Structure 1
Amino acid sequence: MISIIIVAIFFIGSAFFSGVEIGLISLDKHRLKHEAGKSQSKKQLYNFVTNPDKVLGTTLIGTNISLIIVSSVFTAFMIKREIMSETMATLLLSGVLLIFAEIIPKIIVRNSCNTSIPKMFFLIRFFAFLFHPLILVLSKINNSFFKLFRIDKKSGSHLFTKDDLSYLLEEAEKDGNVKKEEHDLIEEVLDFRDLTVKNIMIPRTNIVGVKSDTPISEVINLVKELGFTRFPVYSTDIDHIEGLLVIHDLLELDDLSQPAGNFIRNAYFVPEVMKATTLLKKIQQNKTPLAIVVDEYGGTAGIISVEDLLEELVGEIEDEYDAQENDINKIDDTTFLVDGEVEIERLIEDYNIELDEGDYETLAGMLIEKFERIPRYNEKCMIKNIEFTIKQVTARKIEKVMIKILPETTEN
């Protein structure tokens, strides 16, 4: 009977120390430090968890003492009563200890460490006091090894993770020390560090490029239509980009019949796996406004500009073209360049464009229903006598649509 009681007590002890070990490691130390100024018990707990010798010494000594006693008493009890052999007793106990004194306690305490550890701290402190002589011996042995292998014991102890900084920002915003806008901007900067070019680029399906033999007069028409000031120039297809055409280079040009290939700048190519932070530095160093993104096979994956990178940090940026742009641009009496977000009702009432109302509210919604997917750049569809041409689109939404009202015919 005594053997069973001893096994039960030290089995519970093993489970306790296993849970406490993972709980002390998983504690939110920055939150605890913040709360330490308001509570003496939290201050004592913070001082304890920031002392690795005490944390590891208490939990490891407690766990090992419990395991040794449980194993010895349980095995001796089974052999003495001739219930099972020493090997079977060891195997049985190992499985039970692994599940009920290691895995389960660690899962439970890890998921509730910020509430459970403070409640158990009086017991933790008691065992730390009880094991103090052994902890001192272990600490001296550890320090000897650190000196022998020239390891800086404090190295890395002051490093902050992204989650740590996010928590500190939240607390600073609650206390009024940081404005919400400042908090959001810093969070964007933290997220930006994890982004690759592939996460930000305009995909190849949405690239508006021009062939190298395209006359400049046609390029100027594209500028008037779309408002773009930079175009990738390719030879045979978009996978064979030769350079970059910048409209500012054409301002004093008289002969508009010349091909676009005569005025290209060198293109800057980057892999899609490049970090966004690295690209931002390289674009600044190379003084190029646009980069061509290539995949692992050398094909064109997309394009990316300084504006795309900065918008990830500060939100939507309006350039000189965007600032003057309306959501509905009337090109002539029958042609309009319209934002995808414009409401159908507005087109009907303000511009007398005859469209049927449906379950959608916006022009983009109507076209997605018509195509049954996100359409590609320059795709067209007819509704009654109205031709819709997709002029700007991302992977997730239609941004610009050219609407052309054609003369009514019997076929229409």
Structure 2
Amino acid sequence: MGDSIDGSSNAALRAQPVGQSKSKGGILRRLFFSDTSQTNESSGEAAVSTPPPVQTHGMINLRRMRVEDVAIPKADIVAVPSTITKADLVQLFRESGLTRVPVYEGTLDTPIGFVHLKDFALRHGFNGTGGRFSVKLGLRPLLFVPPSMSIGVLLTRMQAERRHMALVIDEYGGVDGLVTIEDLIEQVIGEIEDEHDIEEVDLWTEEKPGSYLAYAKSPLAEFEAAIGRSLTHYEDVDVEEVDTLGGLAFMLCGHVPARGEVMELPDGVTFEVIDADPRRIKRLRVILPESSIDD
């Protein structure tokens, strides 16, 4: 659950011109400061240095990113009403794989706490069969945070208060999103996959002739070979920069597309985003034009 260093955004790091005297710091300065222009003494021409690769995770994100950058949008929050039955709650835990679920009165904008799978199992048994049931019994308190809070501040607060989940509240007091401690940590160390994550055996499946449901991490070259056509023969696509279907979709639209967003390529191939969060595409549908199916 499901959390980038942009070299261009670190304005504090400036290149040091060649020929300046070395300042204190020695090895540290050489590690953190790089020359962006050097003089080729033999030819007298300026040598252009290659920009460093852009990293997507690191400690700088704790200061640079805000809660709104990593939160799950309201539409994607899995929550339950206070009137939910025991059987329905058991089914939700089984199908979602979640261990913590917000509980609300009436609508999600009136949250009253969250139910923890461990508390439910200890009270009612792992099959949810024992004891009088009310989801309100044993609810744990929720943490409410503004979208503008830095993720570093929130991470510190969650650690101090031993909270693993927080609801993001907008200026009107309504729920705007949800963030977990795992989402925050992933912004520093990268995506975390634990033993409960489902291993994706088939990266794509053909739903019907000419329509494929694929994970965004599907290798682009392998997918192109499977469908028998190129998806990267456009001027706007740099094939050296794209390795996956998700990367291609991102490059074509210039941003992380939202769930339900549709992109049509010049030759009629259509990408439909099936699952995504604010940080990445997860699954998409690729629909080939009818002419290529007939061929």
What range describes the TM-score normalised by the shorter chain of this pair? 0.5 to 0.7
Percent of aligned pairs sharing the same letter: 27
**Bigger Rg over Cα:** 1
Distance in 1, matches of 2:183 and 2:102, equals: 16
AA partner of residue 16 (structure 2): R
Whether contact under 8 Å (1:269, 1:292) holds in the other structure is yes
Instruction: Map 1:303-314; keep pairs closer than 5 Å.
Output: 303-314=178-189
TM-score (norm 1): 0.41
Q: Which residue of 1 aligns with 2:68?
A: 198
Whether contact under 8 Å (1:202, 1:303) holds in the other structure is yes
AA partner of residue 174 (structure 2): G
Q: Which residue of 1 aligns with 2:78?
A: 208
AA partner of residue 204 (structure 2): E
> Does residue 374 of the first structure (1) align with residue 269 of the second (2)?
no
Shift of 1:355: 2.0
Which secondary structure does the structure 2 equivalent of 1:281 belong to? helix
Mean CA deviation greater in 215-224 or 290-299:
215-224
Decide which of 137, 151, 169 is 2:32's aligned counterpart: 169
> Does residue 225 of the first structure (1) align with residue 95 of the second (2)?
yes
Q: Which residue of 1 aligns with 2:199?
A: 326
Q: Which residue of 1 aligns with 2:214?
A: 362
> Does residue 293 of the first structure (1) align with residue 174 of the second (2)?
no
Shift of 1:224: 1.4
Alignment deviations for residues 149-182 of structure 1 (CA, whole Å, 9 cap, x no partner): xxxxxxxxx9xxxxxx99843749xxxxxxx99x
Which secondary structure does the structure 1 equivalent of 2:93 belong to? helix
> Does residue 249 of the first structure (1) align with residue 101 of the second (2)?
no
> Does residue 275 of the first structure (1) align with residue 150 of the second (2)?
yes
Distance in 2, matches of 1:29 and 1:197, equals: 28
Distance in 1, matches of 2:107 and 2:78, equals: 12
Structure with more of its chain in strand, by fraction = 2
Distance in 2, matches of 1:221 and 1:307, equals: 24
Distance in 2, matches of 1:400 and 1:211, equals: 30
Unaligned 5+ segments in structure 2 are 1-12, 36-51, 217-244, 250-256, 262-273, 286-295
Unaligned 5+ segments in structure 1 are 1-27, 37-41, 48-157, 159-164, 173-179, 329-340, 346-353, 377-389, 402-412
Shift of 1:222: 1.3
Which secondary structure does the structure 2 equivalent of 1:264 belong to? coil
> Does residue 397 of the first structure (1) align with residue 281 of the second (2)?
yes
Distance in 2, matches of 1:166 and 1:213, equals: 60
Q: Which residue of 1 aligns with 2:291?
A: none
TM-score (norm 2): 0.56
> Does residue 31 of the first structure (1) align with residue 16 of the second (2)?
yes
Go from structure 1 to structure 2 and tell me whether the alpha carbon gap of 1:225 and 1:361 turns closer, same or farther (over 3 Å shift). closer
Structure with more of its chain in helix, by fraction = 1
Whether contact under 8 Å (2:166, 2:178) holds in the other structure is yes
Which secondary structure does the structure 2 equivalent of 1:293 belong to? strand
- RMSD (Å) for aligned C-alpha atoms: 3.9
